[in-house]
């Protein structure tokens, strides 16, 4: 229902001025409780006190902290790795833009912020060519979640993907990161299914880590938000 604004339903002309207000108007605006010649209430008669230090409005950072406490907002640093052509950058921009984009091999890195379910994911997508992989370790520090993307149609390199995955998670800088595997390109013929990916990546041998395999298709977006939901549910700040 729309607000009436407080004025509808009242008939007749303007209200009569109260005597005190009329007298003040006749005196040239110097009414009771106002400073001479200004029309303003004096501080003593208005009952207000001088503002104290620190009583001003919250700055942006302070407001962000307050809202975070109220609504449970949190941030998570995500490192997205995998062999070249696995679909990492396509996944990143499908999540960021909501559409499939044409990509070229990532030589350095891409970083974007994706907000989902009151969680701000700061996602670092690093190129996967074999010459770049030694640089991956420079991105490990502070990582809270690892997304490892696998091209499920690339059976020839699945063992190479397994070796790289275990090299990553065995690094001490990554010991606290939870692990999400995107079993990507499920739309392609002969793509390996999640249970097969789990076996070929040797995930069952990982006893002390929290991991999950999520089937996905980067171009359509299938499975991507389910993966973020798992990260949200299993991340402990």
110 labelled as ligand-binding?
no
**Structural domain contains residue 10:** no
Asked if the structure places residue 147 within a domain, the reply is: yes
Kindly report the number of other CB atoms within 10 A of residue 95's CB atom. Answer: 20
| Co-location of 216 and 199 in the same domain | yes
Average pLDDT over residues 164-168: 99
The strand pairing partners of 77, in sequence order, are 122
Residue that finishes a domain, picked among 13, 39, 72: 72
Number of domains in the chain: 2
Query: For position 237, what pLDDT does the model report?
Result: 67
Q: Is residue 47 part of a domain?
A: yes
Token pair belonging to 151: 């091209």
**Residues in CB range of 155: below 8 A, 6 or more apart:** 190, 192
Query: Per residue in 47-103, pLDDT tens?
Result: 444 444 444 455 655 665 555 555 567 999 999 999 999 999 999 999 999 999 889
Q: Which residues are catalytic?
A: 129
Per the annotation, does 232 bind a ligand?
A: no
The reply to whether 185 sits in an annotated binding site is: yes
- What are the start-end ranges of the H helices in 85-207? 88-97, 158-169, 194-200
Whether 151 has a binding-site annotation, put simply, is: no
Confidence of residue 145 (pLDDT cuts 50, 70, 90): very high
Q: Are 169 and 202 in contact (CB under 8 A)?
A: no
Whether 106 has a binding-site annotation, put simply, is yes
Query: Does residue 42 surpass a pLDDT of 60?
Result: no
Domain extent, residue 38, equals 30-72
The whole-model pTM stands at 0.71
Q: Do residues 52 and 152 both lie within one domain?
A: no
Spatial distance between the Cα atoms of 130 and 150, rounded to a whole number of angstroms: 15
Binned at pLDDT 50, 70 and 90, residue 149 comes out as very high
Q: Is residue 13 part of a domain?
A: no
Lowest-pLDDT range, 28-42, 73-87, 219-233? 28-42
Check residue 148 and report its DSSP letter.
E
CATH no. for residue 136?
A: 3.40.50.300
Judgement on whether residues 147 and 223 belong to the same structural domain of the protein: yes
What is the chain's mean pLDDT, rounded? 82
Residues, the chain, total? 237
- Picking from 30-39, 69-78, 103-112, 142-151, which range would have the lowest pLDDT averaged per residue? 30-39
């Amino acid at each position: 229902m729309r607000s009436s604004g407080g004025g509808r339903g009242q008939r007749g002309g303007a209200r009569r001025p109260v005597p005190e207000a009329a007298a003040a108007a006749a005196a040239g605006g110097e009414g009771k409780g106002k400073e001479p010649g200004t029309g303003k209430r004096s501080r003593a008669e208005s009952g207000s006190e001088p503002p104290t230090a620190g009583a001003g409005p919250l700055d942006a950072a302070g407001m962000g902290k307050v809202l975070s406490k109220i609504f449970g907002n949190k941030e998570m640093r995500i490192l997205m790795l995998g062999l070249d052509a696995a679909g990492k950058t396509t996944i990143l921009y499908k999540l960021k833009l909501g559409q499939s984009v044409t990509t070229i091999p990532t030589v350095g890195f891409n970083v974007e912020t994706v907000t989902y379910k009151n969680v701000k994911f700061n996602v670092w997508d690093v190129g996967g060519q074999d010459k770049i992989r030694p640089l991956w370790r420079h991105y490990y520090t502070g990582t809270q979640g690892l997304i490892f993307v696998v091209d499920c149609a690339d059976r020839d390199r699945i063992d190479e993907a397994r070796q790289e995955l275990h090299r990553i998670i065995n690094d001490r800088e990554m010991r606290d990161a939870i692990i999400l595997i995107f079993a990507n390109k499920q739309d392609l013929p002969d793509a390996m299914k999640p249970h097969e990916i789990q076996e070929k990546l040797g995930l069952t041998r990982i006893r002390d880590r929290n991991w999950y395999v999520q089937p996905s298709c980067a171009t359509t977006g299938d499975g991507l938000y389910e993966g973020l939901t798992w990260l949200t549910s299993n991340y402990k700040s």
